[in-house]
Amino acid sequence: MGRLFGTDGVRGIANSELTPELAFKLGKASGYVLGKKNEKERPVFIIGKDTRISGDMLEDAISAGLMATGVNVIKVGVLPTPAIAHLVREYGADAGIIISASHNSFEYSGIKFFGCEGFKLDDDFEDQVETILLRDIDVNSHITGERIGKCLDADDEAELRYAGFLESTIDTAVRDTKIVVDCANGAASKVAKTVFDNLGVELILINSNPNGLNINEKCGSTHPEQLQKEVVEQGAAMGFAYDGDGDRVIAVDEKGRIVDGDKIMCICADMMIARNELPEKCVTATEMSNAGFFKHMKEKECTVDVTQVGDRYVLEKMLETGCMLGGEQSGHVIFLNHATTGDGILTSLQFMQAVKLSGKTASQLSDEIKIYPQVLKNARVREENKGNFTKDAEIMNRIEEIRNELGESGKVFVRPSGTESLVRVMIEGEDTEVITGYAQELTRLITKRFS
């Protein structure tokens, strides 16, 4: 067994890599580690899940592990990842767990942990849990009788509490705004309707009928083509596409054009600056962000803190600096004045508010930000080889040659995926045909070496 925790929890194919046996052990180990830190006799964990068919199986398995160490469990059912981060604080729980594999297809699943303050648990927690599992340490003291944990009844208003929180994050009327929302047949399918209906939005929902197998299937934030078409056909003001666990969003303007995370951050930063909601005029982004994003921020006299790819690293930097807005091109956007993690619905509301306050259309705001062409290609490799390209002299030399050929007008970024057996190749430059050729070349080379 190798390292369990990736950049975003424990993930794998459900019942093959992420088995109920592993989930049970994760429950025991996490209950033991967090239980040691808590003076309460009876720690409480909240557990939520997305719409995958494997969710029930893994939920029951990890719950059993937790209860075996004396932890009480509250199951809140199908809710987005950011809902669990919010409800941990709302209920005063000791920790939260979301069972989801985000944008991955239905056969995958994952387990992600939040602490009592709603932030993802840190490396120290992950290291302690991994040590217990990898060394096969039995932390179960075989408690009996009244000390065994139990499953508490979930508050029927868990979803409504979360929806009410989301509605409270904007103070601008959006009633009668016509929007299309693609829920990816995932965790946001029900609560998104509740929120937008309560706000009086003219809502058209697509891909909001999960059956356990259709989550992220040619829909959602990684496949926004259907949303783009629907926005234009319906004459909507804008559209939003979430991923399976609802923590990211890709927007679409009224012309059916993509507004990615970089543009969303620019538009929302402009609004926050105007409303004095962005202390020190600073945002946090990753090294994948487009040159056009940095140019726009500079024109607004707004500084940018840059981190490595991953919303956890964005959040870490934001907490360090006190920055209120940060995110990724992929649509993970964090409004730290409202939430402790990326939230697709919350970001949609902030974007709608920004458009309303500007007096312009979504396309007019989007056109104010010049984005340079980028090409992203994936090289499929064996899982154990994801990071080995950095040790290959030919690959690294070619990456450096391409950087020199592109000069200051381009960027080459190659990294292992945190969630899949892929190496991601992103190249940015002025000529789409040229950078596409470079990306294809590097992808072929990496696949040939490490597949």
Confidence tier at 3 by pLDDT (50, 70, 90): low
Q: From the CB of residue 385, how many other CB atoms can be counted at a distance below 10 Å?
A: 15
Query: What are the angstrom distances between the C-alpha of 290 and each of 87, 131, 328?
Result: 34, 39, 10
Share of the chain above pLDDT 90, in %: 78
Is it the case that residue 403 has pLDDT exceeding 70? yes
User: pLDDT tens digits, residue range 427-447?
Assistant: 999 899 999 999 999 999 999
Q: Which of 100, 102, 189, 330 is catalytic?
A: 102
Q: Which residue has the tokens 């500007």?
A: 358
What is the reported pLDDT for 139? 82
Q: Is 208 a catalytic residue?
A: no
Burial (CB count <10 Å: 0-12, 13-18, 19+), residue 124:
exposed
Token pair of 434 as six digits:
């040229």
Is it the case that residue 279 has pLDDT exceeding 50? yes
Lowest mean pLDDT among 127-131, 170-174, 209-213, 300-304: 127-131
Q: What 3-state class would DSSP assign to 249?
A: strand
The beta-strand segments (E) located in 62-153 are 72-78, 95-99, 108-115, 151-152
What is the reported pLDDT for 1? 40
Confidence tier at 407 by pLDDT (50, 70, 90): confident
User: Please, which residues bridge with residue 14 across strands?
Assistant: 18
User: Please, which residues bridge with residue 108 across strands?
Assistant: 13
| Average pLDDT of the segment spanning 243-252 | 97
Amino acid at 78: V
Q: What 3-state class would DSSP assign to 9?
A: strand
User: pLDDT tens digits, residue range 135-156?
Assistant: 888 886 678 888 899 998 776 6
Q: How far apart are CA 277 and CA 281, in angstroms?
A: 9
Report yes or no on whether pTM surpasses 0.85.
Answer: yes
Lowest mean pLDDT among 45-49, 270-274, 289-293, 362-366: 289-293
What is the reported pLDDT for 143? 81
Q: Where are the alpha helices (DSSP H) in 102-224?
A: 123-134, 158-167, 191-198
Q: How far apart are CA 388 and CA 292, in angstroms?
A: 31
Q: Which residue has the tokens 């939040």?
A: 114
Q: Where are the alpha helices (DSSP H) in 69-203?
A: 81-91, 123-134, 158-167, 191-198
